[in-house]
Amino acid sequence: MKLPFWAIVMITIGLSCSCKKKEKHVRVERAFYYWKSSEYSLGDNQAAQLKTLKVKKLYVKFFEVQPDPVFINKPISKTTLHIWWNDSLTAGIEVIPTVYIQNETLQKLTSAGTDSLADNIIFLVNKFYKSNIRNGEGKYKEIQIDCDWTKSTKDNYFALLKAIKKHTTATLSCTLRLYPYKYENAMGTPPVDKAMLMCYNLVNPLSSTNKNSILENAELKKYLRKNKTYPLHLDIAFPVYSWAQVYKDKVFSGVINTTDIDLSNAVKPIQPPLWYEVKNDMDVGNMYLREGDRIKMEGVGGETLNETIDLLKNNLELDSTVTISFFHLNGKNFKYTNETLNKLYTRFGN
């Protein structure tokens, strides 16, 4: 029987619609990292930006844990931490204590030392929160552990996470780099409640002269696989910082945080792309730059981040609610407008 033309059209449309994957609606919880290694405080301008962007979470580095020749391992404070609150601007923002653990700390960690270190970490988190956050009012709901663990330190790191979990009733999260995300079988799944997938620092800064070590989507693609599921709930962090790698006589000399310092008038572009040359001798922070020094300046623009979001939406299985965080809030030379950041948040959902 020959079908009428209108019936053929309707069947074609129906087949097309049934094959098209319906885009999943995701509710976005907006967040920022606040990450410094010297004295800092949250002022009115930054608090106002958080309010404008409707940010609900602030991941604040409380302290670091590093090896100690006498005490073996101990948490230390490299910062003078004081979060100054303007209640009219910061009402409703949840502070999440974040602790950075140097991978070297884990190398010689014993079972006895693991529980002691976990106890010390929670003790110091409680102390810092009570003395620095909202005058000690309220209680944190989550603790995040940040560590670039390796295959050789995996067992000790996971044991430490389990010990920390025993010492707190708060939700325990950890950062997750793209390598352990991709190679889950080799790297294991951290024993935490959820993980923050860190979508940056994909290339060793010193290993390639022509790649942006902060974020290149060609590199990101290598770590993603469509329809891959990860055993933990995943939140996502994106980079909104910039830096400059300084080379003297072709030898790496150090890094300048260019979210704090504007070098645009002090350098001239050279080849290859991303590279510049210092025009005149000058002091920059704790570093002295000489005429002719070479600098590799790296940052990530809004267009690149939009492409990154498309890649993730097409390759990650996200839950119905996901925290989207930017790293990080502080910086006098912050190059992202509130409009740009707001659009990036809304690319995932409301």
For the chain, the domains span: 25-240+299-346, 242-298
d(CA 31, CA 50): 9
CA 240, CA 220: separation in Å to the nearest integer? 16
Token pair recorded at residue 116: 């002691």
- What pLDDT sits at residue 8? 47
Do 234 and 318 touch, CB atoms closer than 8 A? yes
Residue-level pLDDT at 230: 96
| Widest pairwise Cα distance in the chain | 89
Residue owning tokens 């949250």? 42
**Rg of the chain taking only CA atoms, in angstroms:** 23
CATH node for 25-240+299-346:
3.20.20.80
**Euclidean distance between CA atoms 222 and 46, whole angstroms:** 35
Q: Report the distance separating Cα 346 and Cα 93, nearest Å.
A: 19
Q: Distance between terminal CA atoms of the chain?
A: 49
The pLDDT value given to residue 324: 97
Residue 73 to residue 54: CA distance in whole angstroms = 39
Contact between 243 and 233 under an 8 Å Cβ cutoff? The reply is no
Task: Tell me the average confidence (pLDDT) per consecutive run of 10 residues in the chain, 350 residues long.
Answer: 51 48 78 81 82 94 82 61 67 91 90 90 90 79 97 97 97 98 97 98 85 95 93 97 92 87 90 94 90 95 95 93 92 81 88
The residue type of 206 is L
Name the residue with tokens 């979001």. Answer: 309
